[in-house]
Structure 1
Amino acid sequence: MDRTFEEMLVRQCAPTLAGLKPGSLFCITAEDLENVRKKVRFWDQRLEVLGLSVRILLERREAGSALVYVYRGSQLEQSLGATDRRGFLVGMGYRGSGTEQMLDQLAERLSAQSDFPHEIGVFLGYPLRDVVGFIENRGQNFTCCGFWKSYSDPNTIQRCFACYRQCVNIYVRMYERGIPIEKMVIAA
């Protein structure tokens, strides 16, 4: 692993660890994916008491990589339960109402489709307008770009991006000072 699992967890998931968004995603490469699986199990158990879950959504053995998803179950459930988001996911072919069922379907789509399922933005807490805008515009014609491509009011989204960047910077500094990840998490 070029960067440690923990460093990736902090750098890529700080807004989720801080409770600012329901989920974050990162790709990690490793010579031995069993080590990644062990890290995922370790951190899932460690963060569960704080309201977070860690799971692998996709493994690519040939590339020696895994797509790791960190999420706040209660926040994600509330987000996915919103009428507009639920309707969007049903329209995209998702079935069932449980968060874990939806995540299982997302994982299946990640492994079965050659194209990345862009509805993943809903699971990451992106505004629905931006997820739909990205799909409809095939990633073009966005109003601004940062943590994702946005099709919303650029001023509002830029403030959100600035908040996320500040959060990442603070969390990375805390991590570099040796503060345990568990101490950085805002409990659900």
Structure 2
Amino acid sequence: MDIAIKDFRSKIKEFDDVEYMVNVIVLNAAPTIKELKAGTTVTLCNHDKNMKNNWKNYKEELLERLKLKAFELKETEDAVVVLFYKEELLKNKLENELVKTYLKKFGYKSEMTLYEKLTLLKKRYEKNACPHELGLFLGFPLDDVKIFIESPHSECLICGYWKVYKDEHYAMKTFEDFDAAKLEIINKVCSGLSLTEILDGIA
């Protein structure tokens, strides 16, 4: 996977700055585009081909192409952290009764709309380096998120897209699915397909 990503990054360096940014987002958000994952955070930095500024200038057009929603969680002079998500999938994840109950500990009220929850997440993100309940907005299992928050020194079974404490089999299969989604993008980009052709094939 690491070699494939290296080849991908080498390939997209040839693209103009905007297409470069779009391909970076598509690679990272591939599991979300394929609805395997509720959300994905991507940090877009100006020192990497002017991605923050290009995001600000082209985000509406870009989101229409990607068929994703986006919410900016944190912004600095040089970078912006963006949550890319599938709206219905994320709503359903956060409407799970156990998830709703747990999120109340951090100030998320059951009657909040998705936008209100994202706004509170943003406020907490600004105060903390990264609020750990973010994992629930990314679609990670509640049990793993709870243990990570409440028992941070517990030894995990494996560590991949998240730290796994409970269902290792489920996590391994999920990690494989996420990697497969990314490899699909990498292979298509490296074979010379246009982004439109790629998105038509995976969305």
Provide the TM-score with structure 1 as the length reference. Answer: 0.86
The question of whether the paired residues in 1 share the 8 Å contact of 2:46 and 2:79 is answered with yes
Q: What secondary structure is seen at the aligned counterpart in 1 of 2:69?
A: strand
Deviation at 1:13, TM superposition (A): 0.6
Find the partner of 1:35 among 35, 54, 58. 54
- Which is greater in Rg? 2
Call closer, same or farther: CA 1:157–1:141 in 2, change over 3 Å. Answer: same
User: What is the CA–CA distance in structure 2 between the aligned matches of 1:25 and 1:139, rounded to whole Å?
Assistant: 25
Check the 8 A contact 1:16/1:23 in 2, yes or no: yes
| Aligned residues: CA RMSD | 2.0
Q: Within the alignment, does 1:70 sit opposite 2:87 as a pair?
A: no
Q: CA deviation at 1:99?
A: 0.8
Structure 1: distance between partners of 2:65 and 2:184:
21
Deviating runs (4+, > 6 A) in structure 1?
Answer: none
Alignment-derived partner of residue 104 in structure 1: 119
- Measure how far apart 1:112 and its partner are: 2.3
Q: Shift in Å at residue 101 of structure 1?
A: 0.8
Task: Give the corresponding residue for 2:41.
Answer: 25
In structure 1, C-alpha distance between the alignment counterparts of 2:54 and 2:143, rounded to whole Å: 38
Moved more, 73-82 or 5-14: 5-14
For structure 2, the residue ranges without an aligned partner over 5 or more in a row are 1-11, 14-19
> In 1, Cα distance between the equivalents of 2:63 and 2:105?
31
1:183 matches 2:200: yes
Q: Secondary structure at the match of 2:172?
A: helix
Instruction: Output the amino acid matched with 1:35.
Output: N
For residue 159 of structure 2, what is the aligned residue in structure 1?
145
Mapped partners of 1:27, 1:130: distance in 2: 24
Structure with greater proportional helix content: 2
Is 1:119 paired with 2:133? yes
Counterpart check, 1:158 vs 2:183: no
Q: Which moved more, 1:137-146 or 1:103-112?
A: 137-146
2 CA distance for matches of 1:184 and 1:175? 12
Say whether residues 1:173 and 2:187 are aligned partners. yes
For these two proteins, the number of residue pairs brought into alignment is 179
Partner of 1:81: 95
Shift of 1:6: 1.3
Q: Distance in 2 between matches of 1:185 and 1:166?
A: 12
Q: Deviation of residue 118 (structure 1)?
A: 0.5
Report how far residue 43 of structure 1 moved.
1.7
Secondary structure in 1 matching 2:82: strand
Structure 1 unaligned blocks of 5 or more: none
Partner of 2:5: none
* Post-superposition offset of 1:46: 3.2
1:45 alignment partner in structure 2:
64
> In the alignment, which residue of structure 2 is the partner of 1:7?
23
Which of 77, 93, 111 lines up with 2:107 in the alignment?
A: 93
Q: Distance in 2 between matches of 1:178 and 1:110?
A: 37
